[in-house]
């Protein structure tokens, strides 16, 4: 399989001697358009389906992320100066997670350097037009469940313009969308800019079980799969002989820009169950994809686990939607160890975020109803 950047090289060659290579160019473009697994220059394997490229099965790649994966084997070219949502040294904020060796570190696994450019302040969401009311209600339950146990906050932008009327840029938004019968769910990793869909299969809505939706939202917040931790072979046995080529690509371990803290989390919503019904991933659906080292099965977490929460609480703050520039925090603010800030810690942090003013003016809150499904 050919590296995807052949297209550029071919275009350049053809520009230099157009007549002689038009046919080759066309043939190569057809080759490039074929669906299936593609080994990038960096060795990372992605899967092309139609116009989209997927990583680890259900992670959609933006054009920039794909290019970086091809060239650098990671989603960003290099490590930025600062990792985190808000640059501050406030003692009550971003309490560092301390690993068993006493090292201060960012908790949990991630393979994109989390910065203000790929995290969200508030997560703007849109309910897609092909969702039923029931499906919107199940999504709403997932959003509310996450808000109740973490610092993440969602802003329902369903009836609002997609483009900023003054500056003309497209707002970042997650649009929830039903794949209407297609048996797949997927999401982008982190905030990629503009409208980014979370596509949801029918099974994501069965019986009010919203863990598939929570899993895909966690990707959009920045979390990756537990089974691709670099130390996962110390915790699980991957049943390679039962995995298809696509399945094996999904269990590839990244080699760069990856970190985690603590032991493998078998309760994470980002960890798949041992068994799958997908014949594109396993040869035999009655055999596992992977198990614990003792051979016992793994069951995907039904909601965000303690370490999932810890990661989210490290990088996000529970902002209240306002029309002015003040940062106002919800009454409950979690530290990254999942304990709740005291009232004075919260006020202290709010002052820090507002250049010393702990109390934003008593105005300017924007109504934010996650249950608003239709526009007037
Ligand atoms: Zn996933």
Q: What is the pLDDT of residues 23-76, one digit of tens each?
A: 455 555 545 668 999 999 999 999 999 999 999 999 999 999 999 999 988 888
Distance 226 CA to ligand 1 centre (A): 9
Helix (H, G, I), strand (E, B) or coil at 110: strand
List the single range of 243-247, 267-271, 285-289, 353-357 with lowest mean pLDDT.
353-357
Distance 168 CA to ligand 1 centre (A): 32
Distance 111 CA to ligand 1 centre (A): 13
**86 pLDDT above the threshold of 70:** no
CB 174 within 8 A of CB 222: no
What's the pLDDT score for residue 92? 39
Distance 38 CA to ligand 1 centre (A): 19
What CATH topology corresponds to 79-325? Answer: Collagenase (Catalytic Domain) (3.40.390)
Q: At what angle do helices 133-149 and 211-221 cross, to 10 degrees?
A: 60
DSSP code of residue 119 = S
Answer left, alpha or beta for residue 262, where phi above 0 means left and psi between -120 and 50 means alpha: left
Distance 373 CA to ligand 1 centre (A): 26
Order across the sheet with 59-60: list the strands.
Answer: 36-39, 45-49, 52-55, 59-60, 187-188
Distance 13 CA to ligand 1 centre (A): 39
The rounded distance, in Å, linking the Cα atoms of 271 and 307 is: 12
List the single range of 144-153, 243-252, 260-269 with lowest mean pLDDT.
260-269
Which residue shows structure tokens 């313009």? 161
Distance 83 CA to ligand 1 centre (A): 23
Distance 309 CA to ligand 1 centre (A): 16
What's the pLDDT score for residue 102? 55
**What pLDDT, in 10s, does the model give residues 301-335?**
999 998 899 888 888 899 999 999 899 999 999 98
**12 pLDDT above the threshold of 80:** no
126-130: average pLDDT: 96
Distance 151 CA to ligand 1 centre (A): 21
What's the pLDDT score for residue 14? 36
**358 pLDDT above the threshold of 70:** yes
Ranges for all domains in the chain classified under CATH 3.40.390.10:
79-325
**147 pLDDT above the threshold of 90:** yes
Distance 132 CA to ligand 1 centre (A): 23
Distance 123 CA to ligand 1 centre (A): 19
Distance 215 CA to ligand 1 centre (A): 6
Residue % of the chain over a pLDDT of 70: 80
What's the pLDDT score for residue 118? 85
What's the pLDDT score for residue 7? 38
Distance 217 CA to ligand 1 centre (A): 9
178-187: average pLDDT: 90
> What's the Cα-to-Cα distance from 309 to each of 18, 45, 214, 339, rounded to whole Å?
55, 29, 12, 11
pTM: 0.86
Which residue shows structure tokens 């503009």? 194
Distance 375 CA to ligand 1 centre (A): 31
Which residue shows structure tokens 């997908």? 278
**294 pLDDT above the threshold of 90:** yes
pLDDT band at 103 (very low <50, low <70, confident <90, very high): low
CB 333 within 8 A of CB 93: no
**6 pLDDT above the threshold of 60:** no
Distance 207 CA to ligand 1 centre (A): 20
What's the pLDDT score for residue 259? 57
The rounded distance, in Å, linking the Cα atoms of 184 and 181 is: 9
């Amino acid at each position: 399989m050919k590296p995807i950047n052949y297209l550029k090289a071919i275009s350049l060659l053809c520009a230099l001697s157009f007549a002689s290579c038009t046919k080759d160019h066309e043939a190569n473009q057809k080759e490039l358009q074929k669906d299936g697994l593609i080994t990038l220059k960096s060795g990372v394997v992605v899967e092309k389906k139609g116009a989209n490229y997927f990583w680890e099965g259900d992670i959609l790649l933006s054009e920039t992320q794909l290019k970086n994966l091809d060239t650098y084997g990671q989603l960003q070219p290099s490590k930025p100066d600062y990792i985190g949502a808000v640059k501050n040294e406030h003692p009550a904020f971003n309490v560092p997670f301390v690993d068993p060796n006493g090292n201060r570190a960012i908790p949990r696994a991630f393979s994109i350097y989390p910065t203000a450019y790929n995290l969200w302040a508030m997560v703007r969401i849109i309910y897609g037009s092909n969702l039923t009311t029931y499906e919107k209600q199940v999504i709403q339950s997932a959003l509310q469940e996450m808000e109740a146990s973490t610092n993440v906050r969602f802003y329902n932008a369903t009836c609002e313009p997609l483009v900023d009327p003054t500056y003309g840029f497209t707002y970042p938004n997650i649009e929830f969308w039903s794949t209407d019968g297609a048996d797949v769910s997927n999401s982008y990793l982190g905030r990629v800019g503009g409208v980014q869909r979370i596509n949801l299969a029918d099974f994501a809505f069965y019986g009010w079980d919203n863990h598939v939706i929570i899993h895909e939202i966690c990707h959009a917040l920045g979390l990756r799969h537990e089974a691709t931790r670099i130390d996962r072979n110390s915790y699980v046995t991957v049943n390679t002989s039962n995995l298809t080529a696509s399945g094996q690509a999904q269990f590839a371990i990244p080699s760069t820009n990856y970190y985690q803290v603590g032991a493998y989390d078998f309760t994470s919503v980002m960890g798949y169950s041992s068994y799958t019904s997908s014949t594109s991933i396993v040869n035999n659906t009655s055999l596992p994809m992977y198990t614990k080292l003792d051979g016992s099965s793994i069951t995907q977490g039904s909601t965000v686990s303690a370490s999932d929460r810890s990661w989210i609480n490290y990088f996000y703050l529970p902002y209240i939607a306002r029309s002015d520039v003040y940062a106002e925090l919800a009454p409950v603010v979690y530290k990254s160890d999942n304990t709740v800030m005291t009232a004075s810690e919260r006020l202290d942090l709010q002052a820090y975020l507002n250049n010393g003013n702990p109390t934003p003016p008593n105005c300017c809150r924007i109504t934010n109803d996650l249950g608003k499904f239709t526009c007037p």
